[in-house]
Amino acid sequence: MIRPAQSGDVPQIAELFHRTVREVNAADYTPAQVQVWAGEAPEPEKWAARLSVKRTFVCEVDGRIRGFAEFEDTGHIDALYVHADFQNQGVATRLLKHIEAEAARLGLDRLFTEASITARPFFEARGFIVLEEQEVWYRGCKFTNYRMERSIAARKPDPTR
Ligand SMILES: CC(C)(COP(=O)(O)OP(=O)(O)OC[C@H]1O[C@@H](n2cnc3c(N)ncnc32)[C@H](O)[C@@H]1OP(=O)(O)O)[C@@H](O)C(=O)NCCC(=O)NCCS
């Protein structure tokens, strides 16, 4: 269900992002911000370029992508978007679990992200804490987001072994 993204996934990823920002993030950001963030139309070239430099995972059900996440070897979660029709069904939780496993495999001690207003409660529910509220500029528009992080508990040796 969770697998690395392939170049053939780019059209679905671009469309999913465009719709999710307009239909889900729109609850927390102004119409002007949403327009800048989502772009005029899906931008497959942008996502194809990102796919080539970041590890991207998709959650796929019946051949359709329900969510995707970008993860960097530093522990940075760069994107986490769930399809507008499949919110609150555990898709992001599954993607995050996969990222946690990857991070543990890489020996990382923390995960961090810049969460949107929309995503902050999700990350808080999953143990992340807010380090800082910040204002960032994107395509000439100012956005509020939150620097958040969570440590990855070091595995204790099993005393029964
Ligand atoms: C944030 C997002 C990725 C979560 O995806 P999701 O698949 O709906 O999340 P899940 O179903 O796995 O988990 C939902 C959990 O988050 C928590 N949660 C989500 N929104 C919440 C809210 N507004 N208030 C309180 N808790 C909330 C719930 O407690 C729930 O936990 P539970 O399963 O223990 O009840 C999704 O809403 C999304 O795509 N948002 C828009 C894109 C975005 O802003 N991405 C981040 C960019 S930085």
Query: Mean pLDDT, the chain, as a whole number?
Result: 94
* Ligand 1 first shell, C-beta below 6 A: 20, 24-25, 80-82, 87-93, 115-116, 118-119, 121-122, 125
Q: Tens digit of pLDDT for each residue in 69-109? A: 999 999 999 999 999 999 999 999 999 999 999 999 999 99
**Residue 106: CB partners within 8 Å, gap ≥ 6?**
73
H or E, element range at 131: strand 129-138
Determine if the pTM surpasses 0.85: yes
Beta bridge partners of 144: 135
The distance in angstroms from the start CA to the end CA of the chain is 33
Is the pLDDT higher at 54 or at 156? Answer: 54
- Domain architecture of the chain: domains with CATH: 2-112 (3.40.630.30)
Pocket test residue of 77, 97, 122 for ligand 1, highest count of atoms within 8 A of CB: 122
Residue range 50-77: mean pLDDT, rounded: 96
State residue 160's pLDDT score: 60
**Residue-by-residue DSSP string for 68-100:** EEEE-TTSEEEEEEE-GGGTTSSHHHHHHHHHH
pLDDT band, residue 152 (cuts 50/70/90): confident
Give the distance (Å) from ligand 1 centre to CA of residue 12: 20
